[in-house]
Amino acid sequence: MTKGFAKKLRIMRQKLRNLLLKPMKCNNQEYENKRRFDDPLHLDRFGYKVYSQNDEDGIIQEIFNRIGTTNKTFVEFGVQNGLESNCHYLLFNGWNGLWLEGSKKHFKNLQKCFKKPLAAKQLTAINAFITADNINELIGESGKINGEIDLLSIDIDGNDYWIWDKITCISPRVVVIEYNAKFPPPCEWVMEYNPKHIWDGSDKYGASLKSLELLGTRLGYALVGTNRNGVNAFFVKKELTKGLFAEPATAENLYHAWDNRNGYISSGHATKEYIGN
């Protein structure tokens, strides 16, 4: 074996070794976390929980830190009793809004827990089962919210995709919507619309992140992030992003797999009632 050939062989072996040792972006959580935390445009590092289910409170706060607020109005549905929801902390911080909840049991508890903001008309709550046919009537006519608002949060464990596509009475600047992390990008999957659907705990619910990305694009929104637990996706009106968020704005770049291990700042003791002003 000549010296030249031996040198080339060593170089080839080293390149192969480096390739094998290089973390795979698509299937290495430690690598993905570092990649996103090192980029200040990614939202991962800003997540924390106050009243949200996971780290949504911090991500929502950071989004509005970047794009500002207008009327500080929210619409959220699928809130259960409201205590662990994406807009509880916004309400606590002086926002106004509308909650829709389909369960009579949860709605009764919501009324007890949020007596103060309901009495002050800071919060409106409606007990109704949401469908693609009634959503605009519930928000615009019954809830009396129309036009531009700051935040829309959708989490009904089923027809989320179809409901978002049908909303026309409001124009939210930011949309938070649950995605089905069972199906990673580039997989496109949407649950068949069923106006009577109630989640049975299976993987038959919602839509894949890629499908929501494509829907958001059609509706004029850019995907700007997902929470670290792989539950919610965050969208911002495309004209408001202006290089303020991680790019490319694709499911492939921003997907998180479902993971129920807390990796963010969490709140303290359990919440039993609304303690805001």
* 25, pLDDT greater than 90: no
* 26, pLDDT greater than 90: no
Q: Please, are residues 251 and 183 in contact by the beta-carbon 8 Å criterion?
A: no
d(CA 174, CA 69): 10
pLDDT tens per residue across span 69-116:
999 999 999 999 999 999 999 999 999 999 999 999 999 999 999 999
Q: Please, are residues 88 and 51 in contact by the beta-carbon 8 Å criterion?
A: yes
Widest CA span in the chain: 88
Report the pLDDT averaged over residues 21-42: 73
* 3-class SS letters over 6-46: HHHHHHHHHHHHHHHHCCCHHHCHHHHHHHHHCCCCCCHHH
pLDDT tens per residue across span 239-251:
999 999 999 999 9
Burial category of 169 from C-beta neighbours within 10 Å (exposed 0-12, middle 13-18, buried 19 and up)? middle
What integer best gives the mean pLDDT of the chain?
91
Report the pLDDT averaged over residues 252-268: 79
d(CA 85, CA 115): 16
**Non-local CB neighbours of 181 within 8 Å, separated by 6+ positions:** 209, 230, 231, 255, 256, 257, 258
According to DSSP, the residues that pair with 233 across neighbouring strands are 177, 226
Q: Please, are residues 98 and 172 in contact by the beta-carbon 8 Å criterion?
A: no
Of the candidate ranges 58-62, 200-204, 205-209, the one whose mean pLDDT is the lowest: 200-204
pLDDT tens per residue across span 123-168:
999 999 999 999 999 999 999 999 999 999 999 999 999 999 999 9
